[in-house]
C-alpha cells in the first residue's frame, strides 16, 4: 500500500490519534481539525523586463482559540494550499505544546525566489502583503520568515502594512531586523531551541552530547546553526547536506569551514576532507542524533527500516510520516517531534512580539535564558505525557496541545 504523503492528510491523522486518546467529542473534533480561514490571492508583479507575471499566494489561519494566529511565510515553487493548511495546523499545536498564547497560521507564495531579482522579490512581497492585509495584524495574525524568506522580507511586509495603516506597526511581523524592532537571538532561535530539547532527549537515552555523532539534513538557518551549536557542545558532526547533496566525514566536519565553503561555492559538496553522499544516504547513516532540517516527508515507510539514529530531532516541519513514526517507536528510536523540536523559533517570535508591544527590548542572554526555560519545561511535559499514556513523544505532544486548545475552545463557547 502506497503511503499518503499529502501534508494536510498527515496533519489530520496526527490530530486524530491524539483526539482518540482524549476521547474528543465528534463536534469539537471537527472544529479543531478544520482551518478557520483560508485566503487565496493572485499577485501581479511587474518583472524587471517590464512584463507582468501573476503569482498565486495563500494565507491560512487554522485556529485562534488561544490567541492571534502565528506562522511563517514561505516562497517555494512547490507550495500548495494543502501544504499551507498542514503547516498552519502544526503551528496551532506547536504554540500549544510550548504553551504560548498563539493559534496557528501559515502563508506561502508559489514562486522560485532563486530566479527572481531582489527588486522583483520586493515587489512580490509588497503586493502579497497588500492582498492579505485585511486578515493580518498584531492582534489578528502575525507572519514570520520561513523557507526562502528572511528578515528583509519581514521588513518589506512591516513597511507595506505600516504605510497602509498610516503609522509604524512593529508587531505585525516577527523575525524582523533588530533595527526595526526585531529581537536579539531570533535568527538562531529555532536551532537553539532544538539544541535544548536534544540535550533533554539525550538524558532520556542516557547519552552524553559530547560523545554523540550527529547527522544534519538541510544546511539552511535551522540546520547550520543546530550543527554549530551541537559541535560547540562537543558532538562530532559526521554528515551535512543541502539541496544539492551531502558530505560525509568519519573524522568529523568543521561547521565553520562548511559554512564558509557554502558561501564561496553555493554548495557543501567538495568541501576538503569530505566525501559526497546523497541526501537519502545521509538519512540512513549510523549515528546517535539525526536532525532533519529540510522539507516534509523525508523519513517514510520506504526508508524507515534503514534509519539507524538513536534520536531524531525534527528541526523541519513534517519530515516523518505517520507510518514511519509507528515503526520508529517500535524500534526504540526517540523522535522529538517538529511541534516541539523546532518551536524555539515561534517562542522567540513571541518574545519579539511582546517586546514590540511593550516598546522594551531584552538583551540576548535574557532571550536565550527564557527560551531554555520554555523548551526544557515543554520537553518534560511532553515526556511525562508520553510515559503516562505509553505513547511516543509526538503523540504525547499532540495530546498535551490538543487538550489545551480543546479547553480554550470549550471555555470560550460557540458564537453566535
251 inside domain: yes
C-alpha distance from residue 228 to each of 165, 220, 221, 224 (Å): 41, 12, 11, 6
Mean pLDDT value of segment 225-251: 96
- What pLDDT sits at residue 4? 77
The H helix count followed by the E strand count for the chain is: 14, 12
10 inside domain: no
Mean pLDDT value of segment 13-42: 95
Task: Please tell me the pTM assigned to this model.
Answer: 0.94
Which domain CATH number covers 132?
3.40.50.10860
Strand duo 245-248 + 236-242: pairing: antiparallel
The tens digit of pLDDT for each residue in 190-202 reads: 999 999 999 999 9
- What pLDDT sits at residue 241? 95
Q: Quick one: 193 and 337 in the same domain?
A: yes
Contacts of 307 (CB under 8 A, 6+ apart): 283, 284, 290, 299, 324, 328, 331, 333
| Peptide bond between residue 416 and the one before it cis (omega within 30 degrees of 0) | yes
**Residue that terminates a domain, selected from 295, 323, 341:** 341
Beta strands per DSSP E along 77-210: 103-110, 141-145
Q: Quick one: 70 and 198 in the same domain?
A: no
Cell (9 digits) for 313: 530531532
Write the DSSP assignment of 386-397 as a string of letters: HHHHT--HHHHH
How far is 341 from 192, CA to CA, in rounded Å?
10
Q: What is the distance between the terminal CA atoms of the chain, rounded to a whole angstrom?
A: 44
311: nearest Cα among 372, 410, 390, 226? 226
- What pLDDT sits at residue 368? 97
How far is 231 from 229, CA to CA, in rounded Å?
5
pLDDT at residue 15 tops 70: yes
Which domain CATH number covers 238?
3.40.50.720
Boundaries of domain holding 269: 189-341
The tens digit of pLDDT for each residue in 371-385 reads: 999 999 999 999 999
Q: Quick one: 217 and 81 in the same domain?
A: no
Number of neighbouring beta carbons within 10 Å of residue 8? 19
Domains contained in the chain, number: 2
Q: Quick one: 194 and 259 in the same domain?
A: yes
Residues in the chain: 416
Cell (9 digits) for 100: 504560548
Percent of the chain whose predicted confidence (pLDDT) is above 90? 94
Percent of the chain whose predicted confidence (pLDDT) is above 70? 100
Mean pLDDT value of segment 265-287: 94
Q: Quick one: 235 and 332 in the same domain?
A: yes
40 inside domain: yes
374 inside domain: no
Average pLDDT, whole number, for the chain?
96
How far is 126 from 128, CA to CA, in rounded Å?
5
- What pLDDT sits at residue 1? 62
The tens digit of pLDDT for each residue in 291-349 reads: 999 988 999 999 999 999 999 999 998 899 999 999 999 999 999 999 999 999 999 99
Catalytic residue list: 106
Amino acid at each position: 500500500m502506497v503511503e499518503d504523503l499529502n501534508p494536510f492528510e498527515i496533519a489530520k491523522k496526527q490530530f486524530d490519534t491524539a483526539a482518540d486518546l482524549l476521547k474528543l467529542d465528534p463536534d469539537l473534533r471537527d472544529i479543531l481539525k478544520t482551518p478557520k480561514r483560508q485566503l487565496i490571492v493572485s499577485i501581479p508583479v511587474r518583472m524587471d523586463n517590464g512584463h507582468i507575471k501573476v503569482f498565486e499566494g495563500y494565507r491560512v489561519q487554522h485556529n485562534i482559540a488561544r490567541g492571534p494566529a502565528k506562522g511563517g511565510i514561505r516562497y517555494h515553487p512547490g507550495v500548495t494550499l494543502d501544504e499551507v493548511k498542514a503547516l498552519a495546523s502544526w503551528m496551532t499545536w506547536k504554540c500549544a505544546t510550548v504553551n504560548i498564547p498563539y493559534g496557528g497560521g501559515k502563508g506561502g507564495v508559489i514562486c522560485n525566489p532563486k530566479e527572481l531579482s531582489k527588486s522583483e522579490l520586493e515587489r512580490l512581497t509588497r503586493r502579497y502583503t497588500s492582498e492579505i492585509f485585511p486578515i493580518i495584524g498584531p492582534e489578528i495574525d502575525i507572519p514570520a520568515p520561513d523557507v526562502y524568506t528572511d528578515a528583509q522580507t519581514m521588513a518589506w511586509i512591516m513597511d507595506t502594512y505600516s504605510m497602509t495603516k498610516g503609522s509604524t506597526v512593529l508587531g505585525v511581523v516577527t523575525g524582523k531586523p533588530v533595527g526595526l524592532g526585531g529581537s536579539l537571538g531570533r535568527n538562531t532561535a529555532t536551532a537553539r531551541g532544538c539544541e535544548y530539547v536534544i540535550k533533554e532527549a539525550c538524558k532520556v537515552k542516557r547519552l552524553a552530547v559530547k560523545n554523540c555523532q550527529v547527522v544534519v539534513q538541510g544546511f539552511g538557518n535551522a540546520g547550520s546553526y543546530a550543527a554549530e551549536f551541537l559541535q560547540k557542545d562537543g558532538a562530532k558532526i559526521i554528515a551535512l547536506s543541502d539541496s544539492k547533496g551531502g558530505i560525509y566525514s568519519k573524522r568529523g566536519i568543521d561547521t565553520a569551514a562548511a559554512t564558509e565553503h557554502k558561501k564561496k561555492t553555493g554548495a557543501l559538496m567538495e568541501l576538503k576532507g569530505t566525501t559526497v553522499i546523497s541526501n537519502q544516504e545521509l538519512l540512513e547513516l549510523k549515528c546517535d542524533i539525526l536532525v532533519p532540517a529540510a522539507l516534509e516527508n523525508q523519513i517514510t515507510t520506504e526508508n524507515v527500516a534503514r534509519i539507524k539514529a538513536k534520536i531524531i530531532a525534527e528541526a523541519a516541519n513534517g519530515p516523518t510520516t505517520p507510518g514511519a513514526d509507528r515503526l520508529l517507536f517500535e524500534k526504540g528510536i526517540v523522535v522529538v517531534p517538529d511541534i516541539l523540536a523546532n518551536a524555539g523559533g515561534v517562542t522567540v517570535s513571541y518574545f519579539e512580539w511582546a517586546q514590540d508591544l511593550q516598546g522594551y527590548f531584552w538583551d540576548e542572554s535574557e532571550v536565550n535564558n527564557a527560551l531554555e526555560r520554555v523548551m526544557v519545561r515543554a520537553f518534560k511535559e511532553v515526556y511525562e505525557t508520553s510515559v503516562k499514556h505509553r505513547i511516543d513523544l509526538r503523540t504525547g505532544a499532540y495530546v498535551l496541545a490538543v487538550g489545551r486548545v480543546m479547553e480554550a475552545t470549550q471555555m470560550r463557547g460557540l458564537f453566535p
